[in-house]
Structure 1
Amino acid sequence: MFVSTPAVRTATTLVSVTLAALLLAACGQDDDPSVAAPSTAPTSAAPSTATPTAPTSTASGTPSASASTAAVDRQITVTIAKKRVDPPTGRITVSKGQLVRITVTSDVADELHVHGYDLGARLPAGTPGSVEFRADKTGLFEVETHESELVLFQLVVR
């Protein structure tokens, strides 16, 4: 027989509230505070190590500089057209501590997401979106789009 006491009710309520909070904290599509529209200025919603920036026309893999940010160590540029990723999905290796900028242009509106760093940017159709961050965590991290669920590449930080 189960006896309900104030202590049991309090413990049950606490467990329920904790579970609800954990479920709400899961990766969301539209409620991710690190997702920002492409801009030339840092946004307060992104962590201090991640700054969405205006796109540049720098070719993939070459260092670049822009007037509003420090020179990046690694520029990665991806284009999506008709659900095809260019360059094709693969692994891109960077060194720990490098400043990385990922710029993506999609032919449909979508959302860029860098797993492990929990960074993102909105991708309006035909307009480049970028994230810039210091690669301070080692490991293998997927870079994908949320709406079309395309894996763009796997980022290896060593």
Structure 2
Amino acid sequence: MFLRTPAARTPVTLAAATLAVLLLAGCGQDDDPSVAAPSTTATSLAPSNAPAPTVTAVPSASASTVAVDHQITVTIAKKRVDPPTGRVTVGKGKLVRITVTSDVADELHVHGYDLGARLPAGTPGSVEFRADQTGLFEVETHDSELVLFQLVVR
């Protein structure tokens, strides 16, 4: 049989306590104001060779201070799209902002780029992205299934 004395347990206890302190110290970084928290609004400040488009997470009429190359504004009232559905052509690599105001809550979706934004009733919602893919992309609302326009990127 084998007996442990309190002196033999001290190094093990000390090692366990030290490990616990180190692990807990790493968890407290959320309280540090110098650690930047993710923003609720993402804007495209990346250069034109950026790999992924960005989306404004919070609906806003002017979500970014960066000058966009092509601003597209659409209003939906009583299931009518203004301006009427058509095609909008933009050059490849251009910074595009699509702003939609709907009289009913809905969701904006840009196919091909897989971008979307909530559209609270009466409040503009925007997506902003670099048009880095050529082709024809449908821009629509999800709930009401309205085609707003077709985006042509050349």
Using structure 2 for the length normalisation, give the TM-score.
0.65
Unaligned runs of 5+ in 2: 1-38, 44-50
**Which residue of the partner structure matches residue 71 of structure 2?**
75
**Structure 1 residue 135 corresponds to structure 2 residue 139:** no
State the alpha-carbon separation in 2 of the partners of residues 106 and 93 from structure 1: 23
1:69-108 to 2 correspondences below 5 Å: 69-108=65-104
Aligned mates of 2:150, 2:41 — CA distance in 1: 27
**Which amino acid is the alignment partner of residue 152 of structure 1?**
L
Aligned to 2:60: 54
Q: Contact 2:55–2:115 at 8 Å: present in 1 too?
A: no
Q: Describe the shift of the 1:113–1:143 C-alpha distance in structure 2 as closer, same or farther (beyond 3 A).
A: same
> Which of the two has greater helix per residue?
2
Q: 2:115 aligns with which of 115, 119, 143?
A: 119
Structure 2 residue identity aligned to 1:55: A
Larger Rg: 2
Percent identical among aligned pairs is 82
Aligned pair count reads: 107
Secondary structure at the counterpart of residue 66 of structure 2? strand
Query: Residue 40 of structure 1 contacts residue 54 of structure 1 at CA under 8 Å; is this kept in 2?
Result: no
1:102-133: CA deviation from partner (whole Å, max 9, x where unpaired): 00000000000000000000000000000000
List, as ranges, runs of 4+ consecutive aligned residues in structure 1 with deviation greater than 4 Å: none
Q: What SS does structure 2 have at the residue aligned with 1:122?
A: strand
- Which runs of no fewer than 5 residues in structure 1 stay unpaired? 1-38, 57-65
C-alpha separation in 1, matches of 2:40 and 2:83: 25
Task: Give the whole-Å Cα distance in 2 for the aligned partners of 1:94 and 1:54.
Answer: 22
Query: Displacement of 1:69 after TM fit?
Result: 3.1
How many Å separate the matches in 2 of 1:51 and 1:124? 16
Cα root mean square deviation, aligned:
2.0
Q: CA deviation at 1:70?
A: 1.3
TM-score for the superposition, normalised by structure 1 = 0.63
User: How far apart, CA to CA, are the structure 1 residues paired with 2:53 and 2:138?
Assistant: 18
